[in-house]
């Protein structure tokens, strides 16, 4: 078969989309990072006018430059962009047809729609959709735009962005782009490889930072001027130029984290300005492209006559590929809504209820569902007696009107006080018990189901058509049957019916369901595995089989398994290989790439990775070799990229990256990451004695602290941020640092570091962030927590609990405050402590402890989480004791009577007069002695000391009047009680406890 | 017929050129003024590698912005660019096929290749080719690139640049682009009209000059950095950005003439840097796209055996469309070469010789040419006797070698002194009379014709293929026949043959010529009018007929007629109309647009233009209505553009433009055009008395001087520089200036202003330019005269002659020197005067005056052209007189004997001793008296006074010895003669005259 050429692909797509009603536009005349930025998308998706377009867009992303060395990653890649506005109803099918036009047979490949939540903060835009994978390679982005330039889109636009180089690679089953033909007997590499080298070099090494900054400023100023003059397109041009200049600076490593925020804010404001001005302008022009809409005729559902029953009932919501998590959410939420609002609320008898989810359908199956709702009666309350009958006892108009409204059709002789009036709470009213005839199930469901569907909530949902309905992804068909009868309704513009669709690779063929009871059989016949658990089991089995075929084991993590099971309807495992030379790369890098980027299962033997992987394809086992090769090429390119980074990085030891942290801003007012590292080092020094680290551990902790952030400026971490720490650890080992130092570096990002050194570094890091960012007024508000401070607080509490390491957090916060470049006073420090305490409280309560117990302990011990946790355990046990109802009241009496006293009174034992008070004083002395002897200030010690005092306490209150008129006597007694109340100080606040 | 859409055109062209082996590239990602700047052209045409590409290029030219108001002129127009490298041999035919693919039937339209010498100084590039006109509309530029970025191209590339908007207009027979369909039911205007408005506004009004200047500087600096780092493509990108920034500044009116030079110099240097670096880089890579060339087999011509004769002979050089002037040059130069080097040099008997030229062929026809060259003999000289024979008289090796070399084949008994040695001037030599047998005419011509063709010289010529041959445009076929025999040779890679081609609109069908004598008939049958005069006559007749059809007269200028006659092979007149509203525009504007831009003949009635024109189409009269409409649309768009300018301009009176001249640099050292205007005003003041202007005229002259350059900054003149003065006059009238002032403004650019005021302004302007530019060292050298100073000098001389106005140029030059901002000393002023004198001499000689007479007069009267001219007339008459041979010798004797004397001697009449000298003295006194009485110092006065002296002169020399030994006597006599010689001073220098 002759190879496809680059230009053929383009010409075919142009023809395909032109034939499908698209306006063919041209690439934009200024550098853009994506076809989205071309005004043919960015502007035209705004406002109500319809717009269908397609065009090539060579897209420039400086930081993707690889000097022409990577097989499929470049600073310039060629997008083919399609916009369909409004949604034509079948954009995925159109897209798949376009792939066929290019010669991609879906049966021979694995084509998948993989969740992708597209977001572009620089232009205030977002949408939901997918990456389309061809044999593991992302070849297209498919998005339903929801917002652009800050403007909510109505109608929604479908954006399809093909990656043409990758499609060419896939079509020719090639490893890399460079030798593939462009056209006219010229290789792609002949045209572009040298360009890639030069532009990469320019962006990474040559571009003059000062000058490009100036360009940015000039562009930005011109954009303002244009906006002020109402010149939307010139303004947009300058926004694009800003964006490209920013990208150069970023690639050149010239943008600090804080600056990035400022840049984005500025660009976002400009983009919004452009978008809003455009919409205004179009409105002024009267939206010239808006065509007269032919109003759709509303479908009048014909309700079936009463049907025989019981019968099985099926509801299948056919969707475009749902995100893995949304399948789970959808199934749960559908089950609940169906159970509650259909079956229970209407008393519908049934046997089994099954709910399934796959990427393309959410299904409810009810077996033997009753044919109609049971009849029921309701008591209706009418007007009060006085208003219902006149003096002669005749019904008033008010009564007659009410009866009419409620369809109570009574002969007038029935309309009497005697028959209708009853004594109710609140007076005498007309009442009527009305019988409701139960509806036939099909028409009942026709009314209920739309409501049930609307109750399904997802983390993120989207609109797609004029119905305005939101869902995880568009609903494209619905099967709703009761026995052989279609339950007729319409939702999101889609009418229900009896036709479902088969597997994607088979072109989703229509499948007619003749009766609800046959649904499962039809699905099976179509090869669709409806149950997530079944799919998981099948995948687990297939992956293990593939691994054992290699005499090895698969790394089968539950998370990944669950996700993969929700990416397919018919899982088939594909065993693939990669170049063993890549095994030189850090294991975590390999695993990350395979699992996170590719959703592959790695394989290991004797704890060592093998050069193999298992991918799961959606479909059967035909042409598995092609699918395997495609996936291998993709993984090869991914590893080549990682290898590029690691090789570049390892040219220097980890230590050498530390000074470069200077260029990475932590926060404008808090300095660079180098500054932060310095603070962490000082804090670690402070924490070492507080945490009681041994000498050797202390040495490791200090070294780890100095290196802990160095990996942030390596290329590998810049590329895959999730590898921070992991890479630091790996590079530390390769630089022959102590193993313990390396581990500490790796552990700093873990919820609970295992090593002592790791603990010290992690705490120091987190304390520094909290204190510093609170200090500059960046405490989280509402649900916003851009700096992850809640997690940081939890990351202080949790390790202290798990290591059962007591520590004075207040003191630690004080130390952290001292090293900040900004002043953080007592009040600020207290806020941080409170903030941490809230996390601690949540943690303890989530662990099953009583909220009052937690509150009581934290009121006194928030600054020492480990101690507080121990105290909560103890106090909770006390609270559960039989005698608690004697203990708490006794202590409470002492506390209650004294707590409003502003003054602390001194106790003069000699001035005690009555026996009961003398007894109490002695009991107190014993308790105080016992408490001191216990040498622990915790609830056990406290209460064990206090319990013996209870008789004395009770005796005291029975016999002694505390509030004696004589001031001296009164105050002496109060002093005694205050000392008893004071026993709990630093342990718990009993007033927080239930029953106090 | 459904309308064509914009996107269809593009898709069809993409398919067409892809099918013809072109690589389809993409528009460039930064703003470019033309597809040429895309690296797929700019870089890839460099070096030896083959390259065929095609792509769309939306091209941005800010100053073409018309706010979306013009039908076919925009700041962004869409080019379709094709590069064929090397020349495929038939690029025009490929191009015409592509038009057919778009649905343009050449029979229904007038498709013309109109000379266009493409030059882009900003990138040191040039090429020759054409604008392609479709019914008068330029739809394509077609160029053979000769140089790019300062690098001479080998091979040459063919560039075809389609203007897609104009093609769409033409295809749909539309007036404007805006309502034409783009595709997907969207109008072109829906997409682009608002964009045009906004970008026009930005470029003309909003762009911040300071910021854009800074951008330019930043880009320029980055380009340098990239070049230094060997990064060709990034450097090129910045060159393009420089260029766009420059274009914005220019459109914004921020670039002065002097600055423009500097900008261009800088951009040129950058472009050269990029081009050279690219070539170096490709060379280093080993020119990877260079394919192994399959060497063409050299064609061995087979010479015909002797043919019967005499017979007619034809040579037709078939070419791609020649520029009009080159047809004339080609015909003349072919005639001369053929006459001299073929017919005369080889003594070939013949009857008539005819030479013809059309845009597509240069033809020589010789009737009854002899069948062979006459035999001839030559005398060969061999070695000297001493070297030719040894002592024994035997022939030496030297002799034998010589004989062999000269193919003298003698039996050894003939090799004797007696037979071979002759006495020649210089000694005794071997000689041999060798008979040359005349060659048969066909083989003789086969040898001579290539040489004849290579002797045809054009003002500009070009290379196009591997032969390296230069010609005005590519040679594509050659017919060369003697009788029925083909004269076999090859030139520029083209073999001769017997097949010519017919008319372009008929697809240039091959036409077989069976014998030379039939050639004319075949041409006539093909509808081709071979003779330029015949074509002119036909056009004149058709145009006049069309005009008289309107009851009017055509403006038939000879220049235009000659040009148009050389643009077609078969002229057919088309009468068209335009919107009469445009008649509001200044007549000169309308005429200029019609004649210069469109080559139409305007029509007038009673001296007023009518809203009609006559165009000449190449082809017959089919579908004339389509051709007419197309031409009408074009002219409408042109007039709309002119109207735009004039309307904009007339928002202010002419006077208001004067201050803006400040921004227009005349020359860096000589200031702005406003400065120049100031100098002109001062000089006019000086000239008024020198020219003897009347009072009223003086007032007009002063006012005209102050306004004379104001129109240079109007939009209309900026657009069509040739309208300078014309527009000034027009706008002056509309601003209600005096008619005489307006006329003077208009006349300043005319060779000879008619009015006195116009004369004064023109002289002041020209004197200022000459003196100023000489003063800063910019006197013309060699053939270079960038400031047109030769024309300026002529423009001083000619009006003075025509107005017969005597004036002291030396004084005027002094005045001009005084107002310059630089010092122009006596020497400089003298140089200017000499420079003017040379023009004057040329003028007078060209007018038919004897060179010696002119030289004699100018030696004394160069500073007063009018006086000099009168003197030349007079002297020439004297020189023609019978008695001149007595007059001149008499005067000459007096001059000759005295002219080497360094000293001027005083004459003491009393010391004269001999009668003859006394007589002479008396005669001199009489002559002096007569000369004074004549009160004119001109030849008539001089010679009328001198003639009576002649006997005395002759008597003196017969009888008196001037060089007497006595010093006193001698010097007294010399003094007498010096006084006689002095009579001619200020009138003429007789020593310059022939016969002196």
Q: Indicate whether B305 pLDDT > 70.
A: no
Q: Do A194 and B281 touch (CB under 8 A)?
A: yes
Q: Indicate whether B298 pLDDT > 70.
A: no
pLDDT at residue A296, rounded to an integer: 63
B630-652 pLDDT, tens digit per residue, is 999 999 999 998 998 998 899 99
Q: State how far the Cα of B955 lies from the Cα of B918, in Å rounded to an integer.
A: 11
Q: Helices A967-981 & A884-898, crossing angle to 10 degrees?
A: 130
Alpha-carbon distances, residue A908 vs A972, A988, B157, B924 (angstroms): 6, 27, 114, 161
Question: Is A395 strand, coil or helix?
Answer: strand
Q: State how far the Cα of A624 lies from the Cα of A110, in Å rounded to an integer.
A: 9
pLDDT at residue A654, rounded to an integer: 95
A101-144 pLDDT, tens digit per residue, is 999 999 899 999 999 999 998 899 999 999 999 999 999 999 99
pLDDT at residue A518, rounded to an integer: 96
Residues 210-229 of B with CB under 8 A from A: 211, 214-215, 218, 221-222, 225-226, 229
The arithmetic mean of pLDDT across residues B563-588, rounded, is: 95
Between the ranges A297-301, A661-665, B67-71, where is the mean pLDDT highest? B67-71
Beta partners for B130? Answer: B115, B142
State the pLDDT confidence band at B778, using cuts at 50, 70 and 90: confident
Separation in Å, CA of A294 to nearest CA in chain B: 17
Q: Among residues of chain B, what percentage have pLDDT more than 70?
A: 98
Q: Indicate whether A790 pLDDT > 80.
A: yes
Q: Do B15 and A18 touch (CB under 8 A)?
A: no
Instruction: Output DSSP code: residue B309.
Output: S
Contacts of B225 in chain A (CB under 8 A): 206, 208
Pick the residue with more confidence: A406 or A155? A155
Q: Among residues of chain A, what percentage have pLDDT more than 90?
A: 78
pLDDT at residue A396, rounded to an integer: 87
Contact (CB, 8 A) for A475 and A316? no
Q: Indicate whether A935 pLDDT > 90.
A: no
B701-752 pLDDT, tens digit per residue, is 999 999 999 999 999 998 888 899 999 999 999 999 999 999 999 999 999 9
State the pLDDT confidence band at B961, using cuts at 50, 70 and 90: confident
- Look at A400-409, A940-949, B838-847 and tell me which has the smallest mean pLDDT: A400-409
Q: State how far the Cα of A385 lies from the Cα of A425, in Å rounded to an integer.
A: 13
Separation in Å, CA of A197 to nearest CA in chain B: 9
Based on the number of CB atoms within 10 Å of its own CB, is A690 exposed (0-12), middle (13-18) or buried (19 or more)? middle
B569-579 pLDDT, tens digit per residue, is 999 999 999 99
User: How many interface pairs between A and B have CB atoms less than 8 angstroms apart?
Assistant: 149
Instruction: Output DSSP code: residue B542.
Output: H
pLDDT at residue A592, rounded to an integer: 92
Structure token pair of residue B94: 């490929």
Q: State how far the Cα of A99 lies from the Cα of B407, in Å rounded to an integer.
A: 78
**At a CB cut-off of 8 Å and minimum separation 6, what does A289 contact?**
A49, A50, A51, B186, B190
Residues 476-495 of A with CB under 8 A from B: none
A597-655 pLDDT, tens digit per residue, is 999 999 999 999 999 999 999 999 999 999 999 999 999 999 998 998 998 899 999 99
Q: Do A214 and B218 touch (CB under 8 A)?
A: yes
> Which residue from B614, B631, B611, B608 is spatially nearest to B543, judged by alpha carbons?
B614
Chain A residue with CA closest to B187: the answer is: A289
Beta partners for B481? Answer: B314, B486
Q: State how far the Cα of B232 lies from the Cα of B226, in Å rounded to an integer.
A: 7
Antiparallel, parallel or unpaired: β A485-486 and B151-163? unpaired
Q: CB-based contact (8 Å) between A28 and chain B?
A: yes
pLDDT at residue B231, rounded to an integer: 97
pLDDT at residue B663, rounded to an integer: 76
Q: CB-based contact (8 Å) between B184 and chain A?
A: yes
Q: State how far the Cα of B517 lies from the Cα of A642, in Å rounded to an integer.
A: 80
A184-208 pLDDT, tens digit per residue, is 999 999 999 999 999 999 999 999 9
- Look at A175-184, B434-443, B558-567 and tell me which has the smallest mean pLDDT: B434-443
Q: Do A225 and B234 touch (CB under 8 A)?
A: no
- Cα radius of gyration (chain A): 36
Q: Indicate whether B821 pLDDT > 70.
A: yes
B135-177 pLDDT, tens digit per residue, is 999 999 999 999 999 999 999 999 999 999 999 998 998 989 9
Contact (CB, 8 A) for B955 and B890? no
Q: Helices B532-549 & B324-337, crossing angle to 10 degrees?
A: 150
- HSE-up of A123 (CA within 13 Å, CB side)? 30
> Which residue from B409, B415, B424 is spatially nearest to B392, judged by alpha carbons?
B415
Instruction: Output DSSP code: residue A510.
Output: E
> Using CB atoms, which residue from A29, A206, A234 is nearest to B58?
A29
> Using CB atoms, which residue from A52, A186, A231 is nearest to B198?
A231
Structure token pair of residue A362: 């959410």
- Establish whether the linkage from the previous residue to B310 is cis, with ω within 30° of 0: yes
**At a CB cut-off of 8 Å and minimum separation 6, what does A397 contact?**
none
Chain B residue with CA closest to A52: the answer is: B184
Q: State how far the Cα of A762 lies from the Cα of B239, in Å rounded to an integer.
A: 51
Helix/strand number for chain A, H first, E second: 34, 29
Instruction: Output DSSP code: residue A465.
Output: S
Q: How far apart are the first and last CA of chain A?
A: 86
Residue that has been written with the tokens 């532009």 in this structure: A199
Q: Indicate whether A405 pLDDT > 90.
A: no
**At a CB cut-off of 8 Å and minimum separation 6, what does A262 contact?**
none
> Using CB atoms, which residue from A26, A191, A206 is nearest to B231?
A206
pLDDT at residue B294, rounded to an integer: 64
Q: State how far the Cα of A540 lies from the Cα of A556, in Å rounded to an integer.
A: 7
The arithmetic mean of pLDDT across residues B305-332, rounded, is: 92
Q: State how far the Cα of A213 lies from the Cα of A248, in Å rounded to an integer.
A: 9
> Which residue from B195, B305, B216 is spatially nearest to B264, judged by alpha carbons?
B216
Mean pLDDT of chain A: 92
pLDDT at residue B309, rounded to an integer: 79
Structure token pair of residue A414: 């029935």
Contact (CB, 8 A) for B454 and B492? no
Beta partners for B732? Answer: none
The arithmetic mean of pLDDT across residues A211-226, rounded, is: 97
Q: State how far the Cα of B474 lies from the Cα of B478, in Å rounded to an integer.
A: 12
- HSE-up of B859 (CA within 13 Å, CB side)? 14
Pick the residue with more confidence: B106 or A160? A160
Q: Indicate whether A298 pLDDT > 70.
A: no
State the pLDDT confidence band at A294, using cuts at 50, 70 and 90: low
Q: Indicate whether A511 pLDDT > 80.
A: yes
The string of DSSP letters for B388-435 reads HB-TTSPBPHHHHHHHHHTT----GGG-SHHHHEEEETTEEEEEEEEE
State the pLDDT confidence band at B831, using cuts at 50, 70 and 90: very high
Structure token pair of residue A135: 């044999």
Q: Helices A232-251 & A257-284, crossing angle to 10 degrees?
A: 160
- Cα radius of gyration (chain B): 36
Contact (CB, 8 A) for A810 and A771? no
**Is the ipTM value over 0.90, yes or no?**
no
Contacts of B58 in chain A (CB under 8 A): 26, 29
> Using CB atoms, which residue from B18, B198, B233 is nearest to A7?
B18
Q: State how far the Cα of B482 lies from the Cα of B306, in Å rounded to an integer.
A: 11
pLDDT at residue B84, rounded to an integer: 98
> Which residue from B604, B613, B610 is spatially nearest to B635, judged by alpha carbons?
B613
B480 phi and psi angles, rounded to 5 deg: -145, 110
Q: Indicate whether A724 pLDDT > 90.
A: yes
Among A218, A225, A227, A290, pick the best mutation site for testing chain B contact (most B Cβ within 10 A): A218
């Amino acid at each position: 078969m002759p190879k496809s050429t680059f230009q053929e692909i383009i010409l075919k797509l142009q023809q395909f989309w032109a034939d499908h009603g698209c306006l063919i536009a041209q690439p934009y005349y200024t550098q853009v990072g994506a076809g989205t930025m071309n005004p043919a998308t960015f502007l035209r998706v705004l406002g109500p006018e319809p717009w269908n377009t397609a065009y090539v867009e060579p897209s420039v992303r400086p930081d993707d430059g690889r000097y022409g060395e990577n097989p499929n990653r470049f600073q310039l890649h060629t997008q083919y962009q399609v916009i369909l506005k409004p949604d034509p109803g079948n954009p995925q099918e159109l897209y798949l047809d376009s792939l066929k036009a290019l010669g991609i047979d879906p049966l021979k490949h694995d084509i998948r729609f993989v969740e992708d939540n597209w977001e572009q903060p620089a232009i205030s835009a977002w949408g939901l959709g997918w990456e389309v994978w061809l044999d593991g390679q992302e070849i297209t982005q498919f998005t339903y735009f929801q917002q652009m330039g800050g403007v909510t889109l109505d109608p929604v636009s479908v954006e399809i962005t093909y990656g043409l180089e990758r499609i060419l690679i896939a079509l020719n089953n090639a490893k890399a782009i460079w030798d593939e033909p462009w056209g006219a007997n010229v290789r792609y590499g002949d045209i572009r490889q040298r360009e890639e080298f030069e532009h990469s070099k320019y962006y990474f090494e040559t571009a003059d930072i000062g000058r490009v900054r100036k360009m940015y400023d000039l562009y930005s100023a011109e954009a303002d001027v244009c906006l002020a003059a109402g010149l939307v397109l010139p303004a947009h041009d300058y926004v694009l130029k800003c964006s490209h200049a920013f990208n150069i600076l970023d690639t050149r490593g010239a943008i600090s984290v804080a600056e990035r925020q400022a840049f984005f804010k500025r660009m976002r404001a400009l983009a919004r300005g452009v978008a809003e001005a455009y919409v205004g302008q179009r409105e002024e022009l009267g939206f010239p492209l808006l065509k007269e809409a032919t109003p759709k005729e509303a479908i009048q559902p014909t309700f079936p006559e009463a049907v025989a029953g019981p019968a099985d009932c099926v509801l299948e919501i056919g969707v475009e590929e749902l995100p893995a998590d949304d399948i789970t959410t959808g199934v749960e939420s559908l089950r609940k809504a169906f159970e509650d609002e259909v079956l229970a609320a209407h008393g519908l008898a049934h046997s089994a209820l099954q709910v399934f989810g796959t990427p393309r359908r959410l299904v409810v199956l009810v077996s033997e569902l009753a044919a109609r709702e049971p009849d029921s009666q309701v008591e209706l309350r009418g007007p009060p007696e006085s208003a219902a009958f006149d003096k002669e006892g005749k019904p008033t108009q008010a009564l007659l009107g009410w009866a009419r409204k409620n369809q109570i059709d009574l002969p007038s002789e029935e309309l009497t006080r005697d028959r209708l009036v009853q004594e109710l709470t609140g007076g005498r009213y007309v009442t009527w018990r009305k019988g409701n005839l139960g509806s036939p199930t099909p028409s009942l469901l026709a009314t209920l189901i739309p409501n049930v569907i609307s109750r399904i909530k997802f983390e993120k949902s989207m609109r797609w058509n004029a119905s305005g309905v939101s869902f995880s992804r568009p609903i494209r068909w619905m099967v709703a049957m009761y026995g052989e009868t279609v339950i007729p309704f319409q939702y999101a513009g889609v009418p229900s019916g009896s036709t479902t669709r088969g597997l994607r690779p088979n072109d989703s063929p229509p499948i007619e369901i003749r009766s609800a009871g046959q649904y499962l059989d039809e699905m099976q016949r179509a090869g669709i595995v409806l149950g997530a658990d079944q799919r998981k089991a099948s995948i687990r089995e297939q992956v293990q089989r593939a691994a054992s075929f290699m005499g090895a084991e698969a790394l089968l993590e539950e998370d990944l398994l669950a996700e993969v099971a929700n990416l397919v309807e018919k899982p088939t495992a594909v065993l693939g290989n990669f170049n063993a030379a890549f095994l030189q790369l850090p294991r975590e890098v390999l695993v990350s790439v395979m699992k996170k980027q590719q959703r592959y299962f790695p394989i290991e033997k004797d704890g060592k990775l093998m050069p193999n992987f298992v991918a799961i394809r959606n479909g059967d086992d035909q042409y598995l070799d092609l699918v395997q090769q495609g996936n291998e090429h993709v993984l090869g390119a991914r590893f080549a990229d990682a290898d590029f980074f690691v090789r570049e990085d390892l040219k220097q030891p980890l230590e050498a990256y530390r000074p470069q942290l200077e260029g990475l801003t932590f926060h404008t007012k808090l300095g660079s990451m180098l500054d932060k590292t310095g603070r962490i080092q000082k804090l670690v020094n402070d924490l070492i004695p507080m945490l009681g680290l041994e000498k050797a551990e202390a040495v490791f902790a200090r070294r780890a602290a100095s290196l802990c952030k160095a990996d942030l400026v390596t290329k590998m971490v810049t590329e895959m941020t999730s590898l921070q720490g992991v890479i630091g650890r790996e590079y530390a080992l390769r630089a022959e640092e102590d193993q313990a130092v390396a581990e500490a570096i790796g552990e700093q990002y873990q919820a609970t570091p295992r090593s002592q050194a790791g603990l010290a570094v992690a705490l120091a890091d987190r304390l520094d962030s909290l204190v510093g960012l609170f200090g500059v007024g960046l405490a989280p508000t509402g649900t916003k927590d851009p700096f992850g401070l809640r997690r940081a607080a939890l990351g202080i509490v949790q390790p202290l609990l798990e290591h059962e390491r007591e520590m004075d957090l207040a003191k630690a916060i004080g130390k952290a405050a001292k090293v900040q470049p900004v002043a953080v006073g007592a009040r600020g420090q207290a806020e941080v402590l409170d903030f941490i305490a809230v996390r601690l409280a949540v943690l303890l309560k989530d662990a099953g402890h009583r909220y009052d117990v937690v509150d009581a302990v934290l009121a006194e011990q928030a600054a020492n989480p480990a101690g507080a946790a121990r105290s909560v355990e103890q106090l909770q046990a006390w609270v559960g004791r039989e005698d608690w109802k004697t203990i708490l009241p006794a202590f409470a009496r002492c506390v209650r009577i004294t707590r409003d006293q502003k003054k602390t009174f001194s106790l003069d034992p000699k001035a005690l007069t009555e026996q009961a008070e003398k007894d109490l004083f002695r009991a107190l002395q014993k308790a105080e002695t016992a408490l001191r002897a216990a040498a622990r200030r915790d609830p056990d010690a406290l209460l064990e000391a206090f319990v013996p005092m209870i008789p004395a306490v009770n005796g005291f209150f029975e016999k002694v009047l505390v509030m004696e008129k004589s001031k001296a006597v009164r105050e002496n007694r109060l002093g005694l009680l205050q000392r008893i109340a004071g026993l709990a100080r630093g342990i718990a606040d009993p007033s927080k406890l239930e029953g106090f």
